[in-house]
Amino acid sequence: MDRVNASTSSASNSSASTSSASASSAPASSAPADDPARAAFAALRTPEGGRLLADLRDHDPADELATATRLRRTYPAELVSAALGQARLRQRAEAKFGADDAYRMFFTPDGVEQATRTSVAAHRAARFAGLGVRSVADLCCGIGGDAIALARAGISVLAVDRDPLTAEVARANADALGLAGLIEVRCADVTEIDASSYDAVFVDPARRGGRGRIFDPEAYSPPLSWATAAALRAPRAALKIAPGVPHEAIGPEAEAEWISVGGEVKEAVLWFGEGFAPGAFRATLLPSGATLSAPAPLPAPPVGPVGRYLYEPDGAVIRSHLVADVVERCGGRLVDETIAYVTGDEPYSSPYVSGYEITDQLPFNMKKLKALLRERQVGVLTVKKRGSAVEPEELRRRMKLSGPNSATVFLTRVAGAPTMLVGRPLR
């Protein structure tokens, strides 16, 4: 992500023809004294800073005051403060990068939040590598998460970010993970980079501003139109966008892919160039790698009454508008033309859906649901909803659950009417 402050999004990688260890590992002393953030980061990269970070690896944030007091007896107060902040970031980053990498890498607050998680970056790098890509210009590289994945796939990367601190963090991460020979980090405005000598371009525009998340693609930094133009100039390209992007904002030149991890949609990617399918839509589920695609938007699926079984499509399938494909595969129908719940009369197993056997269908009525759950001795209730304003926690509170059994309730609409469907997961 290309931005003027320390907040960053995904990571970037190495250079095609000019990568070198010296380019990727700037000395810690290079930070100017008038830039407190860069000076603090430089201090963390000294031997003393390294020892302090190692000491803080397993510290409990709840004991931070006592820890800070103890450490200030040995280390300068400014260094302790910087190290505690970095330790907190590393703990947050573990979920995305895994403990082995997270506790060797460096982060900024926005960098942790916006960086691509390792499994998604590795999937993207594998698609590039599978097409013979050997060099990538990673524009808006952030702290280097994508660059790291590309380099580990054997691809050399030029990683570009215009924020000096972010670029230094990306260099440090390449060095810490032994990838400095494949990753060149350059602090520059991505709009001024000539990427014509690279096999592919990856662009991750900044989607956050001073007031939070940006929803207008033309308000990205750089705008989606510029990123698309840069992608179209390259032999191959990938453009990371928000998963909620309107389909009408996606040009016909791109193959659009939505990626979920453990059922949660994490991002969307637009693919351009040789080896991709312009106009196609794709849903990819990680960690399994299962992928579903269609060459063009599908016609609206049929709608009908609730059958014995209900299927909840993965979020990536829903975002990519491929629910109609699932309906066709299971021989089912939608419960409502505006709701992404699929129903059928036969059991169906697929990585793209979670299946449930429906035992009861009720009009929306809290008292009737409470009586039913009491009769079934339901003490554990999973609440799912589509097309309902009711909050799951509020519903559970009002049910006053008690008993040894469990159930799942779906708050939704069936043929336009507010409805409660009660059931259990298919084994």
Give pLDDT tens digits for 256-266. Answer: 999 999 999 99
Please tell me the distance from the alpha carbon of residue 51 to that of residue 187, in angstroms, as a whole number.
28
Looking at the DSSP bridge assignments, the partners of residue 354 are 312
Of residues 111, 220, 217, the one with CA closest to residue 170: 111
Phi and psi of 14, rounded to 5°? -95, 180
Instruction: Quickly state the pLDDT bin for 31 (edges 50, 70, 90).
Output: low
CB distance 201 to 230 below 8 Å: yes
Please tell me the distance from the alpha carbon of residue 218 to that of residue 47, in angstroms, as a whole number.
44
Please tell me the distance from the alpha carbon of residue 390 to that of residue 386, in angstroms, as a whole number.
10
Of residues 162, 183, 163, 161, the one with CA closest to residue 172: 183
Instruction: Indicate the pairing of strand 405-414 with strand 378-385.
Output: parallel
What b/e string do you get for 128-151 counting C-beta neighbours within 10 Å, with b at 16 or more? bbebebebbbbbbbbbbbbbbbbb
The token pair at 282 is: 């794709």
Predicted confidence at residue 44, as pLDDT, reads 95
Query: Chain-wide mean pLDDT for the chain?
Result: 89
Alpha helices in 211-294 (DSSP H): 224-233
| pLDDT tens digits for range 219-263 | 777 888 899 999 999 999 999 988 988 888 898 999 999 999 999
User: What's the farthest any 2 CA atoms get from each other in the chain?
Assistant: 71
Could you give the C-alpha distances from 3 to 79, 207, 210, in angstroms and in order?
A: 26, 10, 11
| Confidence check: pLDDT of 4 > 70 | no
Cα 354 versus chain centre, distance: 21
